[in-house]
Amino acid sequence: MDLAPLTASGDPRLTAPVITTADGFPRSVLRDRHPELLAKVLDGVPYPPEVRLAVNGLLQELDGSILPLSDSHADAAQWAEWSAPYLGKSWYEVPFLWAENFFYRKLLGATGWFAPGPWQSVDPFGPQKDAELAGAAVQAELEALEQLGSLPDSQALDSLVLAALWGNRADLGFKIQRPTGDDGAPEVDNMIADQRDALLPLLTDASRIILITDNVGRELLPDLVLADRLLVGRSGVTAWLHVKPSPYFTSDAMPADVLKTVQRMVDGPPAASEIGHRLRNFLSEGRLELVAHPFYVAPLTYDQAPPDLQKHYARADLTLLKGDLNYRRLVGDAAWPATTPFGAVTSYWPGRVAALRTLKSDVLVGVDEERLAALDATGEAWRTSGRHAVIQLK
Ligand SMILES: O=P(O)(O)OC[C@H]1O[C@](O)(CO)[C@@H](O)[C@@H]1O
């Protein structure tokens, strides 16, 4: 296939082939996961016949060739430009990152998310997100916060970073295919790169911190507790919570999800409630700001971030970037040799950035050769199982 190599590093000498949907894990996401996801959407929301027809049309399209958007929302012209090279092709011969993004954008169009009318702004993933937030796993995490107060500061921060990392394992899209055996317990042994020693002092010293969030529920909760920890008792610190402006990759957080999660904390056990109240105050005082930039739902990598975001990243002392998809967008969705240094492919980033990611797709950099050989020798699908993680810093 004739695809231009991706240059995620900003250095034209550092390139790797773009990952496509032609085979392997990406193909299985399109072939198996997306149809299941569409069924869940139709199961969760009682959409009317015309919406169901449109969603089923998307399901059928996955077996044929890629069609243009059929709505004329404000982003349609931009999407026409991004899609031009791929329209008319099979869904199974295009860049994976673009295909997933276009799929989610099409789904929103089909459900009436954009169009004025009764289904506008109804989150197609809302029922799944709400069930997660109301569920036993989130309740257990809220209760576990009672113990946080008894930990020394440095240990509490370390635990929260680990909780934010492993919270990423439990996203809803992932659960569609791996519904069992996910107890969410931290598995430090499964960390294949761990730069916490360098990260923790940076977190303690930073006064402008960006947290680019990923999933709701068991991931957003520890993210918010971490944000609280960075702000509490430190009046000079400001944090920005970057979220998605629209429903995305099933369970990604939007502003409304942040508010629901804070409220769940407020209504929770005493320690959680105290943190929830504080977060409400931080939001009202402007010390915790929500950012829902359209770039976060674009089929682009971070080296293509618009100037306003670049400036924002440059002015931060540290940006924490959560999850698998953000990692793919950070290092480029490309088949790098996994030993490629993390700093080399992120050298374009205008500041300090740390990735907290459990591995749910093939992309990987910054792993030493011995560890790589040992992982490959297991014969397991370790790059996509969600059981391994990295904390990497540039
Ligand atoms: O929620 P996360 O950690 O970004 O994971 C999303 C991941 O799920 C998938 O959509 C399918 O596994 C990946 O393509 C994507 O990177």
Q: Give residue 180's pLDDT band: very low, low, confident or very high (50, 70, 90).
A: very low
Domain-embedded: residue 49? yes
* Residues 372, 239 share a domain: yes
Q: What are phi and psi of 332, to 5 degrees?
A: 100, 135
Residue 177 pLDDT level (bands cut at 50, 70, 90) = very low
- The answer to whether residues 245 and 298 belong to one domain is yes
Q: Which atom of ligand 1 is nearest to the CA of 249?
A: 10
What mean pLDDT is reported for the chain?
92
Structure-token match 């990735």, residue found? 355
Give yes or no for residue 181 having a pLDDT over 50. no
Q: What is the dihedral of CA 288, 125, 176, 38, to 10 degrees?
A: -150
Q: Model confidence at 11, in pLDDT bands (50, 70, 90)? A: low
Interval between CA 325 and ligand 1 midpoint (Å): 5
Q: What is the pLDDT of residue 173?
A: 52
Among 89, 111, 133, where does a domain finish?
A: 111
Query: Do 56 and 156 have their domain in common?
Result: no
Work out which ligand 1 atom sits closest to the CA atom of 168.
3
Question: For residue 329, what are the contacts with CB-CB under 8 A and spacing of at least 6?
Answer: 97, 300, 301, 302
**Beta strand pairing status for 389-393 and 353-358?**
antiparallel
Ligand 1 centroid from CA 206, angstroms: 29
Pinpoint the alpha helices (H) of 47-170.
49-61, 76-83, 96-111, 126-134, 136-144, 153-167
Q: Note whether 297 and 311 are within 8 A (CB).
A: no
Residue 169 C-alpha to ligand 1 middle, in angstroms? Answer: 10
**Per the domain annotation, does 364 fall within a domain?**
yes
CA of 270 to the centre of ligand 1 (A): 33
Residue 350 predicted with pLDDT over 90: yes
CATH number for the domain that contains residue 281 = 3.40.50.10880
Contact (CB, 8 A) for 369 and 391: no
Residues 290, 379, single domain; the answer is yes
Per the structure, the complete domain to which residue 57 belongs is given by 24-111
184 shares its domain with 318: yes
Range 204-219 average pLDDT:
96
37-58, pLDDT tens digit by residue?
A: 999 999 999 999 999 999 999 9
Q: Within 10 A of 309 (CB to CB), how many other CB atoms are there?
A: 17
**Structural domain includes residue 183:** yes
> How does pLDDT run across 116-142, given as a tens digit for each residue?
999 999 999 999 999 999 999 999 999
My answer on whether 91 and 172 are in the same domain is: no
- Residue with the smallest CA separation from ligand 1 atom 12 is 360
* Same domain membership, residue 183 and residue 60: no
Q: Is the pLDDT of residue 6 over 90?
A: no
Q: Which stretch of 175-179, 195-199, 385-389 has the lowest confidence by average pLDDT?
A: 175-179
CA-328 nearest atom, ligand 1: 16
Report how far residue 30's alpha carbon sits from residue 389's, in angstroms, rounded to the nearest whole number. Answer: 24
- What residue's CA is closest to ligand 1, atom 16? 325
The answer as to whether 135 is a domain residue is no
Question: Quick count: other Cβ atoms within 10 Å of Cβ 174?
Answer: 23
Strand partners, 356: 322, 391
Predicted local distance difference test score (pLDDT) of residue 182: 47
What's residue 211's pLDDT? Answer: 98
Residue 8 pLDDT: 54
> What pLDDT is attached to residue 168?
83
Instruction: Please identify, among 111, 142, 169, the residue that sits at the C-terminal boundary of a domain.
Output: 111
Q: Which atom of ligand 1 is nearest to the CA of 326?
A: 4
Ligand 1 nearest-atom number relative to CA 323 = 3
Does residue 275 lie in a domain region?
A: yes
pLDDT digit string (tens) for 251-306?
A: 999 999 999 999 999 999 999 999 999 999 999 999 999 999 999 999 999 999 99
The rounded Å distance from CA 326 to ligand 1 centre is: 9
Burial of 211 (0-12, 13-18, 19+ CB in 10 A): buried
Last residue of a domain, one of 111, 139, 174: 111
Q: Do 161 and 42 fall within a single domain? A: no
Q: What is the pLDDT confidence band of residue 362, given thresholds at 50, 70 and 90?
A: very high
373 and 290: one domain?
A: yes
Say yes or no: 194 and 310 in one domain.
yes
Q: What is the 360 CA–ligand 1 centroid distance (Å)?
A: 6
Q: How far is the CA of 176 from the centre of ligand 1 (A)?
A: 12
Could you tell me the two tokens for 145?
């916060």
Residue with CA at minimum distance from ligand 1 atom 15: 325
Determine, yes or no, domain membership for 215. Answer: yes
Whether 358 is in a domain gets the answer yes
ipTM over 0.90 threshold: yes
- Average pLDDT of span 25-48: 98
The reported pTM is: 0.94
- End-to-end, the C-alpha distance of the chain in Å comes to 33
User: What percent of the chain has pLDDT above 70?
Assistant: 92
Same domain flag for 211 and 343 = yes
Q: Which atom of ligand 1 is nearest to the CA of 29?
A: 11
Return d(Cα 237, Cα 200) in angstroms, integer. Answer: 15
Between strands 208-212 and 318-322, the pairing is: parallel
Atom of ligand 1 nearest to the CA of 251: 1
Whether pLDDT at 175 is above 60? no
Q: How many domains does the chain have?
A: 2
**Co-location of 225 and 312 in the same domain:** yes
154 Cα–ligand 1 center, Å: 31
The protein residue whose alpha carbon is closest to atom 10 in ligand 1 is 249
Whether 158 maps to a domain, the answer reads yes
For residues 50-74, give the mean pLDDT: 97
Q: Which residues line ligand 1 (CB under 6 A)?
A: 29, 100, 168, 171, 173, 214-215, 249, 323-325, 328, 360-361
Strand partners, 239: 209, 288
Residue 14 is predicted with a pLDDT of 82
